[in-house]
Amino acid sequence: MIGHAPTVGQPVNADALVAPGATAQVAVNNGGAAAKADDKPSAPAQGGAYGAPPPPQQQHDNQQQQQNNNFQQQQQMQQQNNFSYGAAPGGGPVARADGPARVVPIASLNAYQNRWTIRGRVTMKSDVRHFQNARGEGKLFSFDLLDEHGGDIRCAGFGDAVDRWFDVVQPGSVISLSRASLKPRRPGPFNATSHDLEITLEPGSVLQVLPDVAEIPRQRYALRKLAALADAPPRTNVDVAGVVEAVAPATSITRRDGSEARKRSVTLRDDSGAAVELTLWGSFADAALGDQLDGLVNSASSRPVLVGKALAVGDFGGGRTLSTAGSSVVTLDPPDVSF
């Protein structure tokens, strides 16, 4: 994805459910006075500590009141300990945030937390992807959040969450998020964040677009020199920066499944003296980036600096190559990166 200016808006979801508070009710017994020896027989005392037993109807009412009190106490305990475990990819507990809470650093999130709220900048947003499994067809999208403490985490929405949140979540915007599930991250190179958990949006999740927060960086890089790519294993992700020396025309190829894909090759060189070929795939090859690079390098004879995050390392002819992937973010001449 290409970095954009943050989008500032108003809260977009206010359907958080606030559990009603339970009010404990206490049954009050009416005390009865003891009868004197010379008094006429009187009606039995109604539930006094030392009086006669109450009539059957009063006993029934007292039992019903006690049951109500017990039920209300159980509700209070459930609200205070609203924590559930469930099956997660790779096993392990699943923590569900069931109410608003104070904002916590992303790095502090763990699978045993109950209520939490995080705030961060959207540094990556994927396209909508469609899939098919034993339960039928589905769709999903993902995005990464980065906070002012340097913590980042992958978030994903499935099914209805795509329709609800895809257009709301925009790269560069600052959002708050609560009432979502925490699960162990899926293995593989597709998640470039540092957290060992992932967030899954739920029907009751609360996501709000906030005004920009200057303390939250727009991106976090772990830049590697191009000369050091020889030590990077294939099928891993790296962050690099380099001057764009050459831009090839965009071409189309046919995948094994018969679908068509667009690609464009770009040559990068950094101050280590090494050069590498970067393949831009899909939208990166055309309007999103490739056409802009073609105009700058081939028409205006400019040499922009390209910074890529989460680029996939490949091996071709014994040398290393780079390519964009689903989690990649590519930016031209970013102001917060010195080169």
Do residues 104 and 200 both lie within one domain? yes
Are 231 and 124 in a shared domain?
Answer: no
List, in sequence order, the alpha helices (H) in 40-138. Answer: 56-80
Comparing 23 with 143, the larger pLDDT belongs to: 143
Average pLDDT value for the chain: 79
| Domain assignment present for 221 | no
Average pLDDT over residues 27-33: 39
Instruction: Give the Cα separation of 163 and 309 in Å (integer).
Output: 27
* Assigned domain for 42 exists: no
Pick the last residue of a domain from 149, 175, 210. 210
Residue with tokens 């040559």: 267
**For the domain that residue 252 is a member of, what is the CATH number?**
2.40.50.140
Scanning 118-237, the segments in alpha helix (DSSP H) are: 160-165
Determine which of 43-47, 167-171, 334-338 has the lowest per-residue pLDDT on average: 43-47
Q: Residue 141 falls within a domain, yes or no?
A: yes
pLDDT at 39 over 50: no
143-173 pLDDT tens trace: 999 999 999 999 999 999 999 999 999 999 9
* 134 within some domain: yes
Considering the domain architecture, whether residues 233 and 307 belong to the same structural domain is answered as: yes
What percent of the chain is modeled with pLDDT above 90?
A: 58
Question: What contacts 248, CB < 8 A, 6 or more positions away?
Answer: 264, 265, 266
**Considering only CA atoms, which of 328, 238, 245, 339 is closest in space to residue 288?**
328
What pLDDT score was predicted for residue 258?
Answer: 85
Backbone angles phi, psi at 74, to 5 degrees: -65, -40
Cα angle, residue 122 at apex, residues 84 and 141 outer, rounded to 5°? 60
196 and 234 belong to one structural domain: no
Whether 249 and 174 share a structural domain: no
> Do 272 and 204 lie in a common domain?
no
Domain assignment of residue 168, yes or no = yes
The yes-or-no verdict on residue 279 having pLDDT over 50 is yes
- Assigned domain for 252 exists: yes
Phi, psi of 117 (to 5 degrees): -140, 135
Give the domain-ending residue among 182, 210, 238: 210
The confidence score (pLDDT) of residue 50 equals 41
Does 241 lie in the same domain as 192?
no
CB neighbours of 57 closer than 8 A, spacing ≥ 6?
A: none
Query: Which residues, including other chains, have CB under 8 Å from residue 153's CB and lie 6 or more apart?
Result: 106, 109, 118, 120, 144, 145, 193, 195, 197, 198, 199
Residues 194 and 116 in one domain: yes
Do 205 and 100 share a structural domain? yes
- Assess contact for 68 and 60: CB atoms under 8 A: no
Residue 277 pairs in a beta bridge with: 267
Tokens of residue 214, six digits: 């200057």
Report the percent of the chain where pLDDT is more than 70.
70
Return the pLDDT at 299: 87
- What whole-number distance in Å separates Cα of residue 298 and Cα of residue 278? 17
Whether residue 248 is found in the same domain as residue 182: no
203-249: pLDDT as tens digits? 999 999 999 999 999 999 999 999 999 999 999 999 999 999 999 99
How many structural domains is the chain composed of? Answer: 2
Q: Which of 144, 178, 210 is the endpoint of a domain?
A: 210
Q: Which two tokens stand for residue 319?
A: 């040398």
Is residue 5 a part of any domain in this protein?
no
Contact 208, 181 (CB under 8 A): no
Range of the domain at 311: 226-332
pTM of this prediction? 0.66
205 and 232 within one domain? no
Q: Residue 67, SS3?
A: helix
In this structure, are 254 and 181 located in the same domain? no
Is 34 part of a structural domain of the chain? no
